[in-house]
Amino acid sequence: MGKAGILLPVSALPNRYGIGSFGKEAYEFIDFLYNSKQSYWQVLPLNPTSYGDSPYQALSAFAGSHYYISLDMLYNSGLLGIEAINDEVNIQGRINYEKLFKTRVNVLKKAHINFIKNIPTEYYNFCNKNSYWLDKYAEYMSLKENNDFASWNNWKEEKFENIQIDFWKFTQYIFYEQWYNLKKYAKEKNIKIIGDMPIYVAYDSADVWAEKENYYLDKDFKPIKIAGVPPDQFSNDGQLWGNPLYNWEYMEANNFVWWKNRIKFAAEFFDIIRIDHFRGFESYYAVPYGETTAKNGEWIKAPGIKLFDEIKKELNDVNIIAEDLGFLDNDVKKMLKQTGYPGMKVLQFAFDEDNSIYLPKNYVKNCVVYTGTHDNNTVRAWYKTLNETAKNRLKNNVPIKKGEKISMALIRFALNSMADTIIIPLQDYMNLDDEARINKPSTLGNNWTWRLKGDYNKKNLIKKISEASFANI
């Protein structure tokens, strides 16, 4: 049995301010992982989000979301008064992104006013070290703010004030200061953090605005083709993500410098990087811009192993997990083997056919197994949707103890596999239903809003997780 961990987005942590943060609840969650004898905490992307609130459609591939800044920590350091943080108290269950969008920046601007009265040397060091992305991000956000937060291709106003630039740099300084303190605490507790890197960036992002030559755009800077995946058994129309595609010829001629910077940055930020849609580095699915579904796309070759050879030359050993789900051909499998990165196995996919590649008996040791990911329903809710054939496959493969919940049986099934690493969504340990689903792909609304209740941290749950992780099953 390999090492075990738990998947929980930072946004889902409980606190008083409407969204999880890097405050005391994050430290308490690390204590919870430690007490539950876990080795990993897997999070979702922590970048600033835009329309739709998806962390996979971020405003920057490098910046962190200012929503995760702990207001209590700003209060404790004297940067915010009690009135300012009390105005942000929002005890309702799910995340209200509209409220956060309307109020959080104003609260942080109050903190910035106090911050500039006595700026620490570390702030200037941070700005210098990160200038290669931070300068353009601060300009982009300032211009975005002055254009009613419209997408950059619709901007009319091209002016900004220096104080705006300073403010957006301040948000990143505080974000990263709080994050690295939290990561240091996790290290002290022997918890490694697995981060998530989306393969693509959003069209409305500082990355595209600042370096348009990296993307497949026309003379008016509109996408020529956009990203997605073709129709499959889960979606008749496929998934039309809408991200601009990379100009791989330009990137390769430029020695993949943007990708090297991005991977190096992420390797410092996380202990292990899960790269989303890994197959897109071998071939990517391109849909003509303006299409309303992903039906009319085509597969186009990408650099493949050349990119990862260059990354390894420069960065030596980077711990990467390849999200190799979906349509995989022999070329993708060959690229994955050449990199040596572990791929992913999802048990919810293991009962769609006989002798599925997702059944533990067909695993190699170098893989990471999940009961489900952020895109799946909880095991409890998923099981209700299975047809009788799939349920029979499950019962014929998964040892289920008398009176045991399906969630726990599937968790034990994962933990007893030969996989090096086992990651379980916390919702499955808690046997939660579909109200705890994080995301339903290809839908807008009610995604990314689930939050953990503050009373989760109980002895019986800790005992359940620690015993499952170390039992002779």
As annotated, the active-site residues are: 276, 323, 375
Please answer whether residues 213 and 247 qualify as being in contact, where contact means their C-beta atoms are separated by less than 8 angstroms: yes
Dump the DSSP string for 252-293.
HHTTTHHHHHHHHHHHHH-SEEEETTGGGGTEEEEEETT-SS
Tokens found for residue 426: 């916390």
Q: What is the dihedral of CA 263, 264, 270, 275, to 10 degrees?
A: 10
Residue type, 248: W
Residue type, 140: Y
Which residues partner with 197 through β-bridges? 275
Q: Which residues contact 155 (CB under 8 A, 6 or more apart)?
A: 143, 144, 147
Please answer whether residues 280 and 302 qualify as being in contact, where contact means their C-beta atoms are separated by less than 8 angstroms: yes
- How many C-beta atoms surround the C-beta of residue 79 within 10 A? 20
- What's the Cα-to-Cα distance from 146 to each of 103, 118, 139, 307, 451, rounded to whole Å? 16, 27, 11, 38, 32
CA 92 from chain centre, in angstroms, equals 24
Quote the longest CA-to-CA distance of the chain: 68
Rounded to whole angstroms, how far apart are CA atoms 238 and 243? Answer: 15
CA 367 from chain centre, in angstroms, equals 19
Rounded to whole angstroms, how far apart are CA atoms 377 and 8? Answer: 14
- How many C-beta atoms surround the C-beta of residue 42 within 10 A? 26
Residue type, 108: L
Please answer whether residues 341 and 393 qualify as being in contact, where contact means their C-beta atoms are separated by less than 8 angstroms: no
Rounded to whole angstroms, how far apart are CA atoms 176 and 62? Answer: 11
In total, the chain counts a number of residues equal to 473
- Rg of the chain taking only CA atoms, in angstroms: 22
Which residues partner with 288 through β-bridges? 225
Buried b (16+ CB within 10 A) or exposed e, 341-350: bbbbbbbbbb
